[in-house]
Amino acid sequence: MEEVFLPIVIVAMLFIGLPWVVLHYVTKWKQAKTLTGEDENLLDELHYTARRLEDRLMTIERIVAADNPEFRLRSDSAPVRELPDYDRARRN
């Protein structure tokens, strides 16, 4: 009885179990490639927060530079940008 059972289990594992595992993970990988709406909202919020912090830092640097003539502004500091309309709506 054991002589018949073992080959059946091996064949079932090779032709049913292995493809099922491979297809299962292929499906999971395809789902993980895309961003969800929640992920996009989080990225938008983080981008908005980073821009606000950058604007605050530039304002502080300008204030310090006005008070202390020896202070140098960062060479890559650009003028404060105007926020797009969708960012203004979030502040309210």
Question: What was the pLDDT predicted at 23?
Answer: 95
Helix then strand count (H, E) for the chain reads 4, 0
Question: What was the pLDDT predicted at 69?
Answer: 79
d(CA 45, CA 20): 39
Which segments of the chain have a pLDDT < 50?
Answer: 80, 92
d(CA 74, CA 82): 20
Question: What was the pLDDT predicted at 92?
Answer: 47
This prediction's pTM: 0.46
Question: What was the pLDDT predicted at 40?
Answer: 92
In terms of Cβ atoms closer than 10 Å to its own Cβ (0-12, 13-18, 19+), residue 19 is: exposed
